Structure 1
Amino acid sequence: MFDAITVQTAAENASVWTLIFTILLAFVLSTLLAYVYQKTFRGLSYSRNYVQSIVLISIIAAVVIQSVGDSMSRGIGIMAAMSIIRFRTNFKDPRDTLFMFASLAEGISCGAYAFPVAITGTVGFALATILLYYSPLGPNSYFDGMLRFNLPTTNNEDKKQLETLLDKYCRAFALVTLREIAQGQRLDYAYHIKLRKKMSYDNFMVELKTIKELQGLSLMMQEATVDL
């Protein structure tokens, strides 16, 4: 499979074409990981910068491993240089961490010229992710929009009308945040919602606007917020 290119195991003896092939392979495999991440993502929004990082970090890992080669002193020097950089990115979702580690592992394998390991590992990880996505272990129900509005603190009739509309139009909804505004005179609500089948968001918004004291109404759909 890899007879078309001569691959040296030592970085000092690697040809330019070998280095180019290594970087290109790291790019292609990490792009596959990024694509799988996008297609299996279930949430209101994902970061475009994070998706790009999945692709780029594998290239960095491949270049670093190629630079180190079999040299112990180079490895120690690179570790010292990397320790100066402080990484402050916090991953709220363990799944994001796994994809970043998968891209790193793929880049390291490419940099070490373990191309069969890189390809097999990446394809295996991608297939496992897709399998879990469609299996019972995947999320069966997820929210596809966020509804925000505010109501007077003491108006119980409007709250009952709101609850009636939520039950009528939404298959699922969950209160995300609730905070006081206007010096405690009003309450600001944020709901994750999933509409029932054959229900229209336009009709939902029209009926919500019939609530007299409801203000600050906004609906952010998943399709409109996928890129951050």
Structure 2
Amino acid sequence: MNELLEPVIAGSAFEWRKAVVALLLAFGLGQAIAVVYMATFRGLSYARTTVHGMAMGSVITCMLMLAVGTNIAAGIGVAGGLSVVRFRTTLRDPRDIIFVFAALGVGMASGLQAYGTAIVGTLIFGGGAALLHVTGYGARRQPDGLLRFVAPSGPGAEEAIARVLRAHCRTFSLVTLREAAQGTVMEHAYQISVLTPDLRSPLVTSLQAVPGVHDVTLLLQEPTLDL
């Protein structure tokens, strides 16, 4: 039994301590990146497995870097082994890919004992991601939604509709105007931006109160949501 365990226990205490510190640091920093990801995530396609992948991927990367060290032959062997594995999981959001890559980078830095680089890099990356999230960097104002309804043809109905839209919307533009019911009514489609989100329901109610207007539908579009 001692002969079998000899390759395992032959390493010095310093090597064991180095490996433990590097792996624990990689796991902790990977979790920190995952926490920032969870705090700044916006959308509907949240996956718990992605968060777990960030935390555990840093450990795996660190382990590989510790195993390879400065051995070029071992590095080529690890690269060849990884090339055989085919990862079929796809990440549709480029932001998810960046966070996963950041977790892998933390694992690499920890495995190379560049602890300062790993810690400072995690702090700057997490702070930058939080700052971009809070400031809404890169966001562009877009219409809140598409408003559809059927209204009778004639100047009277158009004036009443215009008054309702001006009272509830910041901007509105006619997208589609089509005849229906042999020209007796018109189908309207507007791109709108309401003054406040609370006015969405009153807008629909006010349009339905206009004589002859019916089938009012407001299709909301949130550009930050991924279905």
TM-score (norm 1): 0.57
Cα contact 2:33–2:103 (8 A) shared by 1:
yes
Which 5+ residue runs of structure 1 have no aligned equivalent? Answer: 1-9, 179-186
| Residues 26-41 of structure 1 aligned to structure 2 (within 5 Å) | 26-41=26-41
Question: What code does the residue aligned with 1:199 have?
Answer: D
Cα deviation, residue 118, structure 1: 0.8
| Residues 124-139 of structure 1 aligned to structure 2 (within 5 Å) | 124-134=124-134, 138-139=137-138
Secondary structure at the aligned position of 1:213 is classed as: strand
Provide the residue aligned with 1:213 in structure 2.
Answer: 215
Cα contact 2:204–2:216 (8 A) shared by 1:
no
Task: Write out per-residue CA displacement over residues 102-147 of structure 1, whole angstroms, 9 at most, x where no aligned residue.
Answer: 2221110112222122111111222233344456x8246667x986
Question: What code does the residue aligned with 1:89 have?
Answer: T
Task: Write out per-residue CA displacement over residues 171-210 of structure 1, whole angstroms, 9 at most, x where no aligned residue.
Answer: 6899xxx9xxxxxxxx9x9x8x876447266556655777
The percent of aligned pairs where both chains have the same amino acid is 23
Secondary structure at the aligned position of 2:76 is classed as: helix
Q: How many Å separate the matches in 2 of 1:162 and 1:91?
A: 41
Cα contact 2:61–2:111 (8 A) shared by 1:
yes
Mean CA deviation greater in 27-36 or 200-209: 200-209
Provide the residue aligned with 1:54 in structure 2.
Answer: 54
Q: How many Å separate the matches in 1 of 2:12 and 2:204?
A: 62
Greater C-alpha Rg: 2
1:24 aligns with 2:24: yes
Provide the residue aligned with 1:83 in structure 2.
Answer: 83
Q: Relative to structure 1, is the Cα distance of residues 110 and 44 closer, same or farther in structure 2, using a 3 angstrom cutoff?
A: same
Cα deviation, residue 212, structure 1: 2.1
Provide the residue aligned with 1:199 in structure 2.
Answer: 198
Q: What count of residue pairs does the alignment treat as equivalent?
A: 198
Which 5+ residue runs of structure 2 have no aligned equivalent? Answer: 1-10, 177-186
Cα RMSD after superposing both structures:
4.9
